[in-house]
Amino acid sequence: MENCIFCKILRGEIPSKKLYEDELCLAFYDIAPLAPQHFLVIPKEHIKAANRIDKSNEAVVGHIFTVIGNLTSVLGFSDGYRVVTNCGKDAGQTVEHLHFHVLGGKELGSFN
């Protein structure tokens, strides 16, 4: 997508601190971390949000969770981590390209 920030990161038009990349997804550090460790994992395909996941693109979501498991293990999130995806206005989604926040490195407290 032409004007999507995360598509621009995927194309290398906006710099990012990359953690991992394969044919289906990219993991990179969030520019405004909300925890000592905070990275994002995005599909390379432009999917607008979680409510646009369907039979045609669902496989990448499972793949992303496998990648998250591997990365958190390598990075030593041994005491746990949180995965969040904001979907739409009420959830505060600011970038309309599906992304999974991975937060860790401290006790995160209850979610609400």
**C-beta of 28 vs 77, nearer to ligand 5GP:** 28
61 touches which of ligand 5GP, Zn ion, none (CB within 5 to 8 A by kind)?
none
Distance CA 25, CA 31 (A): 18
d(CA 53, CA 69): 20
d(CA 38, CA 108): 12
Asked if 99 is an active-site residue, the reply is: yes
**Nearest residue to Zn ion, using CB?**
4
Q: Which does 35 bind (CB under 5 to 8 A by kind): ligand 5GP, Zn ion, none?
A: none
Give the active site residue among 38, 97, 99, 101.
99
